[in-house]
Amino acid sequence: MTTLSEALAPRSDQLNSDDLIPGPRVLKITGGRIARDGRQTKIILSYEGDAGKPFKPCKTMGRAMVLVWGLTDEGFEEQVKGKSIRVYRDPEVTFGDQGQVGGIRISHMSHIDKPTQAKLTVSQGKKAVFVFHPLLTEQPTPADFTLTHARLAIAKADSLPDLERVWKQRSMAPYRDELKEALDARKAELTPNDGTLSETNPTAAEGRPDSERGEQQFNDDGTPFLG
């Protein structure tokens, strides 16, 4: 069956931001290499269902993966194989004198157990703080739902209504006493205040056009994915 993504897919030899107009995607990496691509040396990642269009992360996102996953030259392909990332289109990414052209950003990464920050260069002389959230590739059954999963569920709520919905789930009940501090902290993050950066007011921070936004992970049916 043809899909909206197929109908809108641009003609290209790589995944680009317009491929993500219909929505974010999770890429399970099947291989990777570092190679010359035109005049530049790039990270080139193949992934499940790539249809011959590998993901070639920009330098900023490439640096993020190196820092967060601790990637090295030696054994690079084996280091990235089997890992997953959640990518989305950020329409505010700029490119040279072309202004805002859009670009691919990473919001979630597998093989990390808590949100991870990285201060990265986004343009000459300019840096921004990026936050990468844990990407759980398998949803635990109720019996496997642990305090760690509960903390991640709170961290991934992207609005106050989502946070309330997460908190009321039965699987959270055994951990509510231990999670009150995490709940209050996330509630404060999701509450806009005087122009400070929050997930409900992402455009308030200085340098926002080039900065990252963490995103909530969703199931295929649109409901929040709670790990």
**What digits encode the pLDDT tens for the residues 77-108?**
999 999 999 999 998 887 766 667 789 999 99
Give the chain's mean pLDDT: 80
- The whole-model pTM stands at 0.58
The band of 3, judged by pLDDT with boundaries at 50, 70 and 90, is low
Q: Place 208 in a pLDDT band, splitting at 50, 70 and 90.
A: very low
Residue 210 pLDDT exceeds 50: no
> What DSSP assignment string belongs to 42-82?
EEEEEETT-TT--B---HHHHHHHHHHHT--STTHHHHHTT
Question: Where residue 43 falls among pLDDT bands split at 50, 70, 90?
Answer: very high
User: What residues form DSSP beta bridges with 33?
Assistant: 44
Other Cβ atoms within 10 Å of 75 Cβ, number: 10
CB atoms inside a 10 Å sphere around CB 23: 11
